[in-house]
Amino acid sequence: MDQGFEGNERELLRDIIDKIELSVSALQDRSRGRPPFEITCEQDIHDLLYSVLKPVFPESRVEEYTTKHADSTKKIDIVVPEVGTGIEIKYVRDKSHAGEVGDELKIDIESYHVHDDCENMIAVIWDSESYIDDPHNFENDLEGPRTFDGRQFPVEIDIIG
């Protein structure tokens, strides 16, 4: 971790996620005729976010599996051990998919808590076309602390795009 940062590492992580759209904007007007960076799928968001997080949180890892829970494992998009956070990334493709994202996240929440390096979860949802009808209610429905095996597991939802 950069010794020049004087704040909380968790706040730094949140700040990076909250401002990832600025990185996308900066890559729209590229020099020497290079095409703009476009977000067209979940992997684009994943790659961009990981490339920004890795220098700041060098222990970050991608696509790591949880231990077996309810007879299945789940792949975590990005694990940031320095702050005990699992990051799930979603890309809302269309209006019908917007209705499925909440259910997908409920399954993810049930799985992430079993990973040794995940004390909390942040879901980053790219919805540049505003397919989610009511983002405020969507966040309120999924966000907040959960309790698993007597342990608190905070969940944050961040709709961007």
String of DSSP letters for 10-76: HHHHHHHHHTHHHHHHHTTS-STTPPPP---SHHHHHHHHHHHHHHHSTT-EEEEEPPPBTTB--EE
Place of tokens 């299945």: 72
Parse the chain into domains and list their residue ranges.
Answer: 9-160
* Neighbour tally for 142: CB within 10 Å: 20
Q: Evaluate whether 36 touches 48 at the Cβ level (below 8 Å).
A: no
Q: How far is CA 35 from its chain centroid?
A: 26
Looking at residue 29, what is its pLDDT?
Answer: 82
Q: What is the DSSP letter of 98?
A: H
| Rounded Cα distance, 75 and 123, in Å | 14
Output the CA angle 52-57-63, nearest 5 degrees: 75
Strand partners, 125: 90, 159
Query: pLDDT (tens digit, 0 to 9) for every residue of the chain, 161 residues total?
Result: 444 455 699 999 999 999 999 988 888 888 888 888 889 999 999 999 999 999 999 999 999 888 766 667 789 999 999 999 999 999 999 999 999 999 999 999 988 988 999 999 999 999 999 999 999 999 999 999 999 989 999 999 999 98
